[in-house]
Amino acid sequence: MNLEYEIYVKGKNGINNIVFFNEPELYPGEKSRFRIGNGSIMIFDGQKPILAIEVIPHKPTPPKDMAGPIPVYMVSRKIILNYNNGNSKEYELLDKFPLIIVVPDQSKTKRKQINDLNEKFKGIFNLSTEYSALNDFMICFDSDFNVVIKKMLDKVNEKYKLKDE
């Protein structure tokens, strides 16, 4: 049995944007009060988000930019996909999911820095708390993305006890 992935990418296939909110109940006229950020890529299995991917385009990438998406995703409680045609689709975040933050390839010094920051950020951000929508995250370079996404999807498959056929 395989997961049935639905991949939503900001600016592709009719998706205008992916918006994160820090409350599951959004009151008319107060949506902007709970809006906390926009996403790049979300992968779902039905109504469950199973993986988020943030792409940071600038080089060199400072640590502040690398870590910035982590707290936004942690406190997110609802995601709304807005389509170019004016329609939208809402997802309440009931299950935890992992996040991959992808930065452009950079110097060897930056590679060591990212490995160090991954460890330190995991020590600082308490993902096991009830307030976190994330269960894992990884910051990686473009060139490492294929290895990292395979590792994360293997964890997702393990979580749902599914095997690739």
Q: In percent, how much of the chain has pLDDT > 70?
A: 95
Whether 113 shows a pLDDT value over 70: the answer reads yes
pLDDT reported for residue 161:
64
Residue 131 has pLDDT above 70, yes or no: yes
| pLDDT, average across residues 96-114 | 88
Q: What is the pLDDT of residue 100?
A: 97
Query: How many CA atoms within 13 Å lie on the side-chain side of 76?
Result: 31
Average pLDDT estimate for 65-92: 95
For residue 162, the model assigns a pLDDT of 52
Rounded average pLDDT over 89-97: 93
Structure tokens at 113: 């820095």
Residues 34-60 have a mean pLDDT of 92
User: How large is the greatest C-alpha to C-alpha distance in the chain, in angstroms?
Assistant: 49
- What pLDDT, on a 0 to 100 scale, did the predictor assign at position 71? 94
Q: Please give the average per-residue pLDDT across 122-142, as a whole number.
A: 92
H or E segment at 27? none
Measured distance CA(54)–CA(73) in Å, rounded: 10
Mean per-residue pLDDT over the chain, rounded? 89
